[in-house]
Amino acid sequence: MMQSLLFQLILTSCVFLNSVNNVNAGITSTFIRKEWPSVDIPLDNEVFAVPTGHNAPQQYDTKYYYKIGSGDSAREFWFQTPPKIGPDVRYKFGVIGDLGQTYNSLSTLEHYMQSGAQTVLFVGDLAYADRYQYNDVGIRWDSWGRFVEKSTAYQPWIWSAGNHEIEYMPYMDEVIPFKSYLHRYPTPHLACKSSNPMWYAIRRGSAHIIVLSSYSPFVKYTPQWLWLREELKRVDREKTPWLIVLMHVPLYNSNEAHFMEGESMRAVFEEWLIHHKVDVIFAGHVHAYERSHRISNVRYNVSSGERYPVPDKSAPVYITVGDGGNQEGLAERFRDPQPEYSAFREASYGHSTLELRNRTHAFYHWNRNDDGKKVATDSFVLHNQYWSNNLRRRKLKKHRLSALGRIASY
């Protein structure tokens, strides 16, 4: 009996590990969730009420208290300053995209707040206020601000903009793109020599995070192109070994929704991203979850005929997390057959976490919202690209991994 159980356990482990390391063994999840209403929560719901009191501490280093308003309307909050930049600083990020303000959105936000993460990497499409008209647009921006305040008032959210932030509405004389977004959510772009708040970089813990704008010009000689070329040169992997990129439109996507919309940006930037050994790229836009193997398509051009992505150990892992819970619902139609570059995909709401353990390894998890419950569904160990390309770093990597145990990894 014991031998039989041991054999089954070994067989299950081998199948699981093979599925994440073999590019020909992608997984399309068959999970089908019960449909929660994909409608925005009514404005009189308690989640939009002005909160009393403040959250319990969840972070370390120096805590600062700050107060907004005066007299009876004054409200006190706090935030924690980040740890000093360093290659082995442990830090945990949450990753959320396409959130909106539905009951599914609320489930995602509440599950994230239980994760113990210290900063959110937000990959675009915030309030979905552009689905309303006239005064209701501003009202829904404000309600979303109250909706996420339970987190944003106490910890950083690193923003990138999506298509629902454009708000080009000539019928109501609103023709300045991103007007509502930029007035409400400033970014630290001047600190990284960016000429525009839509693209910028920030260092946090052991990570250098680059935010790109899918809906701003990015072809050769444009301001975003020029800035990224120089910013990649400024990355110091000895101090911040983890290089993370955020954008809204995924460069690789096997869903029918928004298929190949990121192809133009891929053609412009993919070679740079591989050359500079980006570790992982997070995107949203597609209302589903998908994770890729390390692949590239840099050899493709209009005359070469080499049009299929190939395995590439120098390439990033591409992860789509446009599954926050917005009003438009899930993107349930994946392309068939599943491409070889696609490792795992599922049409469910949820959020991710990325925990940087040291300069060589990080833990990644995607958590599904299963009828209001948080369910860990996809996970792996992410190997740092910079600290795995010479003998000295490989020895350090081997030593550190031995302390983490055996788990699927990239």
Residues 226, 211: contact at Cβ < 8 Å? no
Residue 35's SS3 state is coil
Amino acid 326: pLDDT: 92
The yes/no answer on whether domain 87-395 falls in CATH 3.60.21.10 is yes
Distance set, CA 189 to CA 123, 218, 247, 379 (Å): 16, 16, 15, 32
pLDDT over threshold 50, residue 13: no
Band (36; pLDDT cuts 50, 70, 90): low
pLDDT over threshold 80, residue 407: no
Strand order in the sheet with 350-356: 157-159, 119-122, 91-96, 350-356, 361-370, 373-383
For 317-361, how does the pLDDT look when each residue is reduced to its tens digit (9 = 90+)? 999 999 999 999 999 999 999 999 999 999 999 999 999 999 999
Amino acid 59: pLDDT: 45
In the structure encoding, which two tokens stand for residue 344, read together? 């795992």
Per-domain boundaries in the chain:
87-395
Residues marked as catalytic: 258
DSSP class of residue 199 equals: S
Amino acid 370: pLDDT: 79
For 41-87, how does the pLDDT look when each residue is reduced to its tens digit (9 = 90+)? 888 888 887 655 444 434 487 899 999 988 888 999 999 999 999 99
pLDDT over threshold 60, residue 291: yes
The span from the CA of 92 to the CA of 320, in Å, is: 18
pLDDT over threshold 70, residue 18: no
State phi, psi for 190 to the nearest 5 degrees.
Answer: -65, -30
Amino acid 3: pLDDT: 54
Q: For residue 133, how many other CB atoms are within 10 A of its CB? A: 10
Amino acid 271: pLDDT: 97
Q: Of residues 69 and 230, which shows the higher confidence score?
A: 230
Closest CA to 278 of 321, 218, 227, 232: 232
pLDDT over threshold 80, residue 230: yes
Closest CA to 101 of 151, 168, 47: 47
For 375-385, how does the pLDDT look when each residue is reduced to its tens digit (9 = 90+)? 788 999 999 99
For 81-125, how does the pLDDT look when each residue is reduced to its tens digit (9 = 90+)? 999 999 999 999 999 999 999 999 999 999 999 999 999 999 999
For 241-283, how does the pLDDT look when each residue is reduced to its tens digit (9 = 90+)? 999 999 999 999 999 999 999 999 999 999 999 999 999 999 9
**Cβ-count burial 343-382 (b if 16+ within 10 Å, e if not):** bbbbbbbbbbbbbbbbbbbbbbbbbbbbeeebeebbbbbb
Band (1; pLDDT cuts 50, 70, 90): low
In the structure encoding, which two tokens stand for residue 6, read together? 């041991």
Amino acid 45: pLDDT: 86
pLDDT over threshold 70, residue 406: no
Amino acid 114: pLDDT: 94
With a pLDDT cut of 70, the percent of the chain lying above it is 84
Amino acid 388: pLDDT: 80
Q: What is the mean pLDDT of residues 120-144?
A: 97
Band (141; pLDDT cuts 50, 70, 90): very high
Amino acid 134: pLDDT: 96
pLDDT over threshold 50, residue 371: yes
With a pLDDT cut of 90, the percent of the chain lying above it is 73
pLDDT over threshold 60, residue 399: no
Closest CA to 279 of 362, 186, 156: 362
pLDDT over threshold 70, residue 179: yes
Band (300; pLDDT cuts 50, 70, 90): confident
